[in-house]
Amino acid sequence: MNQDKRIRVLVAKPGLDGHDRGAKVIARALRDSGMEVIYTGIRQTPEQIVDAALQEDVDTILLSILSGAHGFLFPRIMELLKEKGLGDILVLGGGIIPEDDVPELKKLGVSEIFGPGMSSQTLINYIRENLSQG
């Protein structure tokens, strides 16, 4: 009966690497924490991801990138989100992203980058805290 606003998360893998094991583990952990996770699969274009976020009205987008193309994919996705009026969505990154690149990504509006070794609970807590403030 409880129809409180459920947290809706889009888990997406932009770009060309096809390794989605990590994304699936995260999707499963978020599901088990009571969130509704929309999983879109591998090899998504920035346009596809932003369209999915728009139609699904998600609160958070989680981008998993292992290919090293984060320097291209994140800016494009952030730009498209702003274009479509979705600037208020919490955008998070994960995968293999060198620490040196993180400040640049945060400047674009990516809220946080979660690298290997991070516990799912840390991510879940982060999402809950940051959404309740918003």
Partner 1 sequence: MELVDEVRKGSVRALAKLITLVENEMPGGIEAMEKIYPLTGNAYIIGITGPPGAGKSTLTDRITKELRRQNHTVGIIAIDPTSPFTGGALLGDRVRMQGVSSDEDVFIRSMATRGSLGGLSRATSDTVKLLDAYGKDYIIIETVGVGQDEVDIVRTADVSILAVMPGGGDDIQAIKAGIMEIGDIFVVNKADRDGADRLVTEIKMMLGLSSTEREWTPPVIKTIATEDQGIDTLVEKIKEHREFLVKSGMLACRRKERIRCEIIKMIEHEIYRYLDSLIGENKDFFEQRLEDIVNKKEDPYLLAKKTVETIAKRISKNANV
Footprint of partner 1 (CB under 8 A): 1-6, 8, 27-28, 30-41, 45, 47-48, 51-52, 54-57, 84-86
Looking at residue 17, what DSSP letter applies?
-
Which residue's CB is nearer to partner 1, number 41 or number 98? Answer: 41
Closer residue to partner 1 (CB): 30 or 110? 30
If the CB atoms of residues 10 and 105 are measured against partner 1, the closer one turns out to be 10
Half-sphere exposure of residue 4, counting CA atoms within 13 Å on the CB side?
A: 5
Instruction: State how beta strands 112-114 and 36-39 pair.
Output: unpaired
Please state the closest distance from residue 107 (CB atom) to partner 1, in A. 26
CB of 56 to partner 1, least distance (A): 6
- Min CB(129)–partner 1 separation in Å: 18
Cβ(76)–Cβ(106) below 8 Å: no
User: Using CA of residue 121, residue 124, residue 125, residue 126, what is the dihedral sign?
Assistant: positive
Nearer to partner 1, 66 or 124 (CB): 124
CB of 80 to partner 1, least distance (A): 12
Please report, as a single letter, which amino acid is at residue 43: R
Locate all alpha helices (DSSP H) within the chain, ordered by sequence: 21-32, 46-56, 70-83, 102-108, 120-133
